Structure 1
Amino acid sequence: MEIRHLRCFLAVAEELHFARAAERLHIDQSPLSRTIKELEEELGAHLFIRTTRSTQLTRAGRLFLEHVPRIFAALDQARDSVKSAANGFHGQLRIALSDGVTPSRLPALLARCREEDPEVEIRLFEVPLSQQIKGLHSDLYDAGFSMADDVGDGILVAPAWEDEVMVAVPARHPVLAYRRVPLEEVLRYPLVLGDPAACEGHARQIDRILRKQKLEPMIVQHVTSYDLMMTFVSAGIALGLAGAAHITASRDPGVIARPLAGKQPLLTTYLLRRDKEPSEMLTRFVERVGCIDEADTTDDS
């Protein structure tokens, strides 16, 4: 099995169309079909069901597709490791970011890592939560940040930092009459929230906050990015609920952040890593995560 077999399989599996896959690979359709046939013969299984109208993955093809992207990710990381060594770094930490993590502590954490461990390169990967979990299990990532704490066996989860939940409010909106907005008042208006599929942990934490109220939220849109959430808010279409850092990062003059009334709800970002003995580099990184949060708490007080 050669890399070209995997590239051809991945193109067809993603396009589900041989002609489009061949165009994407800049080859003719005939050699593409031969390559797929070679791969199927080597594996001893059909990977595609092909008719005159459609191309679909077989069960074996779907199972194979779960592994192939990780092979290419491992190859990319091997290439990056060589480049890292050539650039003078003596080690590398691969950190996954998923699930709409609040960015409040991340810049300070990375700055401290660079200051205290300048010979270690930190590489960040923005991936879906499911991919982060698979990558931690298969050693594609050394650690990751997520807002979900229910990630299954074999993964250690620890709180990394917390952020205040705030309301993103359009300029000249009635709730601006409140310095601290009651949650029941927020629920009188349409909301734009993070997509549960793209921001699973964030959406789950927000949902727990909303479920404490008797009113059912009026959700007009689920979005996959906080920039888009702030666009909806700035346009006056809805209120948003997000971490203070997310709202601040938008820098949209049409969006005003207001705290919630009563006991302030918090969003928790978690540090995830595989349940095994960590390397010295990873141990120092985990220690810094705790120190960054403690330092910020001390500053706030």
Structure 2
Amino acid sequence: MEIRHLRCFLAVAEELHFARAAERLHVDQSPLSRTIKELEEELGARLFVRTTRSTQLTRAGRLFLEHVPRVFAALEQARDSVKSATNGFHGQLRIALSDGITPSRLPALLAQCRKKDPEVEVRLCEVPLAQQIKGLHDDLYDAGFSMAEDAGDGIVVTPAWQDELMVAVPARHPVLAFKQIPLEEVLHYPLVLGDPAVCEGHARQVDRFLRKLEPEPLIAQRVSTFDVMMTLVSAGLALGLAGAAHIASSRESGVVARRLAGTPPMLTTYLLRRTEEPSEMLARFIERVAFIDSEDDHGAAEDASPT
């Protein structure tokens, strides 16, 4: 079995169309069909059911598809490790980011890693949560950040940092009359929220907060990215609910961040890692995560203290 076999299989499995897969790979359709036949003969199983109207994965094909992307991920990481060593690094931490995490502490954390461990390269990988969890089990990642509280057996989940849930408001919106917006005012307007299929943990935490409210909120749309959320808010179509860091990083000029009245609800980002004893590099990284969060809490306490 060669890499070309896997590359061809992946293209057909994703396109479910031999002609489109051949075009994507810049090959003729006949050589592509021969390559898939070679792979099926080696595996001793049909991977596709092909008719004049459609191409579908067989059960064996679906099972094979679960493994092939991890092969390419491992190859990519091997290539990155060589590049890292060539660039003078003596180690690498592979950190996965998933689930709409709030990025408020990430820049300071990476700066600390660069300052304290300049010989260690920190490589960030943006992946869906399910892929992060599987990658942690398969040793494709050393650790990851998510907003999901439970990652199943074999994964340790610990709070990393918190970020205030705030309201993203269109410029010149009536609720801007409030410096801190009462919840009952928020519920007068349609909301745009994160899509649970893409940012499951973030959506779950926001939904848990909204379930406590009456009347039930009017959710105008669920979106996959915070950029799209802020675009809809800027257009005046809805109010958005997101972490303060997400709103602050928005490129939309017509969006204003407002705090909610009363005790501010907080969104939690979690650190995920395998249950086994961490390496020295990873242990130092975990310590820095705790330090960054405690340092921020200390600063917040000083800011909140009377002068």
Distance (Å, rounded) in 1 between the aligned partners of 2:46 and 2:186 = 54
| SS in structure 2 of the partner of residue 250 of structure 1 | coil
Once residues 247 and 53 of structure 1 are traced to their aligned partners in structure 2, the CA distance between those partners, rounded to angstroms, is: 46
Please name the residue that 1:212 is paired with: 212
Is 1:198 the counterpart of 2:198? The answer is yes
The match for 1:152 is 152
Q: Note the C-alpha offset of 1:62.
A: 0.5
Matched, 1:15 2:15: yes
Counterpart CA distance in 1 for 2:226 and 2:43 is 43
Aligned position for 1:88: 88
Displacement of 1:251 after TM fit? Answer: 4.5
Distance, in Å, in 1 between the alignment partners of 2:187 and 2:149 is 26
Alignment of 1:36-115 (within 5 A): 36-115=36-115
Bigger Cα displacement from structure 2, 207-216 vs 113-122: 207-216
What do the CA deviations read for 1:80-123 (whole angstroms, capped 9, x no partner)? 10010011000000000001100100000000000000000000
Tell me the equivalent position of 1:117: 117
Q: Tell me the distance in 1 between the aligned counterparts of 2:246 and 2:26.
A: 41
User: Unpaired runs of 5+ in structure 1?
Assistant: none
Which range moves more in the overlay, 27-36 or 237-246?
A: 27-36
For each residue in 1:248-286, what CA deviation from the matched residue of structure 2 results, as whole angstroms up to 9, or x when unmatched?
Answer: 111533111111112210000000001111110000000
1:131-150 equivalent positions in 2, closer than 5 A: 131-150=131-150
Which SS does the other structure have where 2:36 is aligned? helix
TM-score, normalised to structure 1's length?
0.98
Distance in 1 (CA, whole Å) between partners of 2:226 and 2:29 is 41
Residues 183-192 or 52-61, more deviating: 183-192
- SS of 2:191's partner is strand
1:250 is matched with 250
Give the structure 2 partner of residue 173 of structure 1: 173
Cα distance in 2 for residues equivalent to 1:154 and 1:89: 30
Deviation at 1:44, TM superposition (A): 1.0
Q: Which residue number in structure 1 is paired with residue 226 of structure 2?
A: 226
Count of residues paired in the alignment = 301
AA in 2 matched with 1:15:
E
> 1:191 Cα shift?
0.4
TM-score normalized by the length of structure 2: 0.97
Letter of the structure 1 residue corresponding to residue 169 of structure 2: V
Displacement of 1:196 after TM fit?
A: 0.7
**Deviation per CA, 1:170-189, whole angstroms, max 9, x where unpaired?**
11111112221122221110
CA distance in 2, matches of 1:167, 1:29: 52
2:193 is aligned with what amino acid? L
- Give 2:182's aligned amino acid: P
CA distance in 1: counterparts of 2:258 and 2:113, whole angstroms: 33
Structure 1 residue ranges (4+ consecutive) displaced by more than 6 angstroms after TM superposition:
none
**Residue 239 (structure 1) aligns with:** 239
- Matches of 1:141 and 1:297, distance apart in 2: 28
Partners of 1:234 and 1:31 lie apart in 2 by: 50
Name which of structure 1's ranges 188-197 and 170-179 shifts more when overlaid on structure 2: 170-179
Q: Residue 25 of structure 1 corresponds to which residue in structure 2?
A: 25
- In the alignment, residue 22 of structure 2 is paired with which amino acid? A
Structure 1 residue aligned with 2:304:
none
The one-letter code matched in structure 2 to 1:203 is A
- The Cα shift of 1:64 comes to 0.4
Counterpart CA distance in 2 for 1:183 and 1:152 is 34
List per-residue Cα deviations over 1:222-248 (Å, max 9, x = no partner). 111111111111111100000011111
Q: Which amino acid aligns with 1:249?
A: S
Distance 2:234 2:47 in 1: 48
**What's the C-alpha RMSD, in Å, of the aligned pairs?**
0.8
Distance 2:116 2:242 in 1: 32
